[in-house]
Amino acid sequence: MDKGNTIKNLLQNSIAAYFAAIEIHNKPNITYRYETTTLLLINAWELILKAFIRKYVKSKDIFENNRHTIPFNKAVKYVNDYLNKKKANSFTAIKKNLCIIEEYRNKIVHFYHEPLEMLIFSLIARCALNYVEFVKEHFSRDIIVEQGLFIMPLGFKQPFRPEDFLSKKAIDNVSSKEGKNFIDNIVKVIEDLKEQNIEDPIVLPFNVYMENVKKITNSDILIALTSEDKADAKLAKVTKYKPVNDPGAQKVHLSDEEIINKYPLKYYDVWHICKEKIQGFKKNQDFNNIMKEIKKDPTLSYERKLDPKSERSLSQYFYSESVIDEIKKEYNQSNEHHTQT
């Protein structure tokens, strides 16, 4: 079979396995729900990863010497190495999610009597969303729109008590060593990703509305607050911001770490990258004029004063990575203008 047909068949079979997993999971009364769903989801991912390798990773083959296809773990590694090389840690969280679900699938006999439904639901829900985004990005297929899959999440009972999951009662309810290790592994993976500054989650996040219990009218999850020594999870308020060129917008103070993450380039870095990427680039008056305008745009630059309390303090500018494209555009337009005149 030629390469094109192989990719096409792998893609079609993968999507079929994915929707079979969704159908099984959403049945109102079915035994082995999570056992079957995880099996089908891993199968869907294995096929789509092999299609990806066949399509993009020229240095790797999905067939081994015995003409059998490579195992799931090897397919994950090939794709992880390829995508993370193009963009650091772009596939890491997806890989961790898949590895944990595969661990559950392989050791499922040890978990039959363990209350792990919330964990597994959160893992496979994230896995399913990751799959849709992966297929859309790398195979230009929006399978949700194609299939008209807009399922209303109705139910008569929550599948778990969130307040139990966020306390030590969760680990206490798990009796087997394998079950405890499984939960510990998930926590460790989440902590490792956080230490690497990887924001992509491995589980499906929940929106939480916090207010006095007597005033609650509508919330996604009601959290029972407990003392710190009895809790396994901590809640932190996270405020996301987007730089805008609007003097009337709310002002925010950035920590050193936030500045570095959002504006990683210094003036020398900008000049050096422009020299490499812009044909015929010169550090001339045109460049200086462009940089002067860029310093006025908070979406592209950040002014950090050595003494924030002093108006006369010396300052240093930091720049976002998108500044290179802006300079390239303005620089080329300036050169075209000089050529015409």
Which tens digit of pLDDT belongs to each residue from 171-203?
Answer: 555 556 666 677 677 777 777 777 777 766 666
Please name which of 119, 110, 115, 117 lies closest in space to residue 189, comparing C-alpha atoms. Answer: 119
| pLDDT-derived band at 69, boundaries 50, 70, 90 | very high
How would you class 240 by CB atoms within 10 Å of its CB: exposed for 0-12, middle for 13-18, buried for 19 or more?
exposed
pLDDT score of 26: 84
C-alpha dist (Å) from residue 129 to 18, 136, 266, 336? 11, 11, 37, 46
Q: 0.75 cut: is pTM over it?
A: no
Q: Compute the Cα dihedral for 265, 266, 271, 276 and give only its sign.
A: negative
pLDDT score of 314: 77
- For residue 244, is pLDDT > 70? no
| pLDDT-derived band at 221, boundaries 50, 70, 90 | very low
Beta bridge partners of 69: 63
